Chain A
Amino acid sequence: MFFKKECIAMLLAGGQGSRLYDLTRHTAKPAVSFGGKYKIIDFPLSNCINSGIDTVGVLTQYQPLALNEYIGNGAPWDLDRFRGGLNVLPPYQGSKSSDWYKGTANAIYQNINFIKQYNPDYVLILSGDHIYRMDYSQMLEYHKSRQAACTVATITVPMEEASRFGICNTNADGRIYEFEEKPKKPKNNQASMGIYIFNTSTLIDYLEIDEKDESSSNDFGKNVIPNLLANGEKLYAYTFEGYWKDVGTISSLWEANMDLIGEDPALNLSNTDFRIYSRNSARPPQFIGEDAVMSNAMISEGCRIFGSVYNSILSGGVIIEEGAEVHDSVIMDDVVIKKNAKVYMSIIDSDTVIQEGVTVGDPKADKYHVTVIAKGSTVGPEKSGVAMEGKK
């Protein structure tokens, strides 16, 4: 027995995130740490609950263990519900076929029966690799008011970067007449955020058409959206104003973290009306020792700081020993930076130990040359050369 839901969300969380290199070797991208106490997936999940959407299917595929453990039954986001709530949807074996998810559209196609259980009028498609706070209910109102078949959320990007995105070309009333995936010569700078609201019947029809097309790469941006347009369906662009960042690369992940600090941070998470929720690990409060120096830093629970932290973001339980210095870096859970070690322009994944006196990273590096240290590493003097190579 299932009860009708007006709108349910399908969150694509199966991407490999290969441009995050070592950070996603054993973890799906949505489970990568961000902003001290958060994981990337906290943002779309918190957006859902803050928008009144209480049924979310999370489609997982690549390295799902850490992600599954993190999201659990959805309780941290208030998504443990009698009806609906959070459902993890890995690929499964059916009576006729069994298959990995071949693309974003195919992943949803394989879960059409999940959608049908709730008989929703609308389906919201989300991806698990963006940092933003968005009230989807406003987008849904817009979708309804335009009587659209599909609404694509867009964000204004700098013109010179527009060729990296899917660009929506619209009429004055917001109706999309053309969708160009990564155009060489973009006609405008309204980029798709990879967030769509579909009328359920439209979505199911077009997913079935897409599935039958063997030449399709089963991708929303490349195949499904252009197909809708070709058939004259009503597609509208919903312009989102606010902070939004795709954190698919090391440089953008580093940059998005840095957006949390500074004189006037681009992203301020201490907004009590629109909380970002995360799983809490019962750590003690942070302790700051006598000779600690912290300048422009964001520091999480359980940290113990005896050294210096400049322009950096520290996740839970990080220990910075006496004389150690951290500059312009992102330090994830339970990292220990021993006495007199120096860290510059780095992202250090969890459970890593930087040994006494070792230097990691290059103070003169720019954001495209951030050093990445994999989870659980021990960086000693003999290994510091390896660490210096870094990843672009």
Chain B
Amino acid sequence: MSTAGIIFSSLNNDTLTRLTSDRTVAAIPFACRYRIVDFGLSNMVNANISNISIVANYNYRSLVEHVGSGKDWDLARRAGGINFISPYQSSHSSSAKLYSTRLEALRNMQEHIAEFKEDNVVLMRCDAILNFDLQDVIRQHDKSGAAITFVTKRITPDFSAKIKRLMFSTVAGKITDIAMSNTYLSKNPELSLDILVMKTEYLRTIIREAEGYNYKSLTEMLFRSLRSRDYRTYLYDGYVASISSFLDYYRASMDMVNNCAARESLLNKQFAPIYTKVHNSAPVIYKAGSHVENSMIADECVIEGTVINSVLFRGVKVEKGAVVKNSVLFYGTHVGSGARVNCVVADKNVYIGDGTAVLSGNENIPFYIQKGRRI
């Protein structure tokens, strides 16, 4: 069975305002050398999917620049490969307005979907970061004969989502109830990771029905059609970082250094590499006198000072006597000698000058420094 993929790149930009002021969710840097979209793309590529459409709606310049022709994901293909789908004007929609839901985006791209030759299609959003066996989901979907299979995660007792998330009650894998918050569901609700597998033909049906019934969103369609359709879940029990707020982002980044199981399952899974744009940067240089503990460091960093519990992206310089703790420093951050940085997320090309006293947030309110700031 062949499968096509659709990735929605920017559906909760508004809840991540700081990181998305000039990039879409999919293009947020994560774990030293990746951007969030790399996980969705790599999950698909590792499941032999080679026709992937990226729905780009909003602030997508950096995303397009990152993905390019798709070559670094082995997606520069004659047939299929990468397609960017963005809003456009046409004879039957006079105003090119931004999509606010996945269904609107799908309706806008229905001519593109009409050309899919693949039997199945996978829809994914970019706010769940995971490395999972998508092929197994597709296999189970085919076997079960469900209309749609949703990848879900069991909700842990400490779960309290600030924003509303789609949740399911299930009986033997079949969805029996749906809610936007766990309080309304019976025992053992499952959280939707917003990864959907269905027959391509079924997706075409949804789009037609959406026009007929004037559904506004996939969620509305689900609520309305639950009684008459066979919707099932695929429970995933590995690591997932759900990124719906700036704090979520910071915590997921810290997981990469503090949670060995999370790091291994996301980045070191056998036969499931995460691909990303290749920059041909030189390896990291640790000078004599540097001190690094429990940190993840990307190429072309030069470390002379101290780095503890931190994630450093490409080309970060930590000068002699500088101390970086519990921080996430994006591409090109410069930490001058004697500067002290704690619980900070520094966006691209931040310059922290020599002797800057102390820059510190705390674990619940990390301190964000905007792109290009000089301190």
Contacts and interface: CB of A to CB of B under 8 A. Distances in A.
9 contacts: A76-B278, A280-B280, A284-B267, A285-B296, A286-B296, A288-B297, A295-B286, A296-B286, A299-B283
A290 interface: yes
Interface in B261-278: 263, 267-268, 273-276, 278
B284 A298 contact: yes
Contacts, number: 102
A37 B285 contact: no
A299 B296 contact: no
Contacts of A275: 280
A265 B278 CA distance: 25
Interface string A286-317: 11111111111111110000000100011000
Nearest to A269: B282
Interface stretch (B12-20, B144-152, B224-232, B287-295): B287-295
B293 A290 contact: yes
B22 interface: no
B373 interface: no
A276 interface: yes
Q: How large is the interface on A (under 10, 10 to 19, 20 to 34, 35 or more residues)?
A: 35 or more
A14 interface: no
Interface in B282-333: 282-300, 302-303, 307, 315
Contact of A290 (B267, B283, B294, B315): B294
Contacts of B280: 275-278, 280
Contact of A301 (B283, B286, B295): B283
Interface of B: 31-33, 71-72, 257, 263, 267-268, 273-276, 278, 280-300, 302-303, 307, 315
Given A296-B286, A298-B285, A299-B284, A288 B295 contact: yes
Given A270-B281, A290-B294, A292-B293, A282 B287 contact: no
Interface of A: 35-37, 75-76, 260-261, 263, 265, 269-270, 275-278, 280, 282-301, 309, 313-314
Contacts of A76: 278
A307 to B, nearest CB: 13
Please classify the interface of chain B as helix (H, G, I), strand (E, B), loop, or mixed, using the class held by over half of its residues: loop
Q: Count chain A CB atoms within 10 A of each CB in B282, B290, B302 and give the residue with the most.
A: B282
Given A283-B273, A288-B294, A261 B285 contact: yes
A321 B362 CA distance: 32
B300 A287 contact: no
Contacts of A292: 292-293
B56 to A, nearest CB: 24
Contacts of A35: 282-283
Nearest to B269: A284
Contacts of A287: 257, 263, 295-296
A59 to B, nearest CB: 25
Contacts of B297: 285-286, 288, 299
Contacts of A300: 283-284, 299
Contacts of A309: 286
A369 to B, nearest CB: 24
Nearest to A302: B268
Contacts of B274: 282, 284
Contacts of B278: 76, 280
Contacts of A282: 273-276
Q: Count chain A CB atoms within 10 A of each CB in B273, B286, B289, B315 and give the residue with the most.
A: B286
A300 B284 CA distance: 6
A277 B279 CA distance: 9
A299 B286 CA distance: 8
B267 A295 contact: no
A313 B282 CA distance: 12
B288 A296 contact: yes
B60 to A, nearest CB: 24
Nearest to A278: B280
Given A277-B280, A285-B297, 12 more contacts: A35-B283, A37-B282, A270-B302, A282-B276, A284-B274, A287-B296, A288-B307, A289-B294, A297-B286, A298-B283, A300-B284, A309-B286
A301 B279 CA distance: 12
A339 B72 CA distance: 36
A287 B281 CA distance: 17
A253 to B, nearest CB: 17
A285 B280 CA distance: 14
Contacts of A293: 291
Nearest to B311: A285
A295 B290 contact: yes
Contact of A285 (B31, B285, B293, B315): B31
A298 B86 CA distance: 43
A365 B289 CA distance: 24
A112 B295 CA distance: 54
A224 B127 CA distance: 64
Contacts of A314: 283
Q: Count chain B CB atoms within 10 A of each CB in A278, A295, A309 and give the residue with the most.
A: A295
A276 B279 CA distance: 10
Given A276-B280, A277-B280, A285 B287 contact: no
B317 to A, nearest CB: 10
Q: Count chain A CB atoms within 10 A of each CB in B32, B281, B297 and give the residue with the most.
A: B297
Contacts of A298: 283-286
Given A37-B283, A298-B285, A299-B286, A285 B267 contact: yes
Nearest to B73: A282
Contacts of B257: 287
Contacts of B32: 285
Contacts of B283: 35-37, 269, 298-301, 313-314
Closest 5 CB pairs of A and B: A285-B32, A284-B267, A36-B283, A269-B282, A294-B286
A75 B296 contact: no
Contacts of A261: 285
A297 to B, nearest CB: 5
A296 B285 CA distance: 7
Contacts of B288: 263, 295-296
A80 to B, nearest CB: 10
A296 B284 CA distance: 10
Nearest to A77: B280
Contacts of B302: 270
Q: Count chain A CB atoms within 10 A of each CB in B71, B291, B292, B298 and give the residue with the most.
A: B292
Contacts of B303: 294
A384 B119 CA distance: 57
Contacts of A288: 292-297, 307
A263 B263 CA distance: 33
Nearest to A316: B283
A75 B71 contact: yes
A288 B303 CA distance: 12
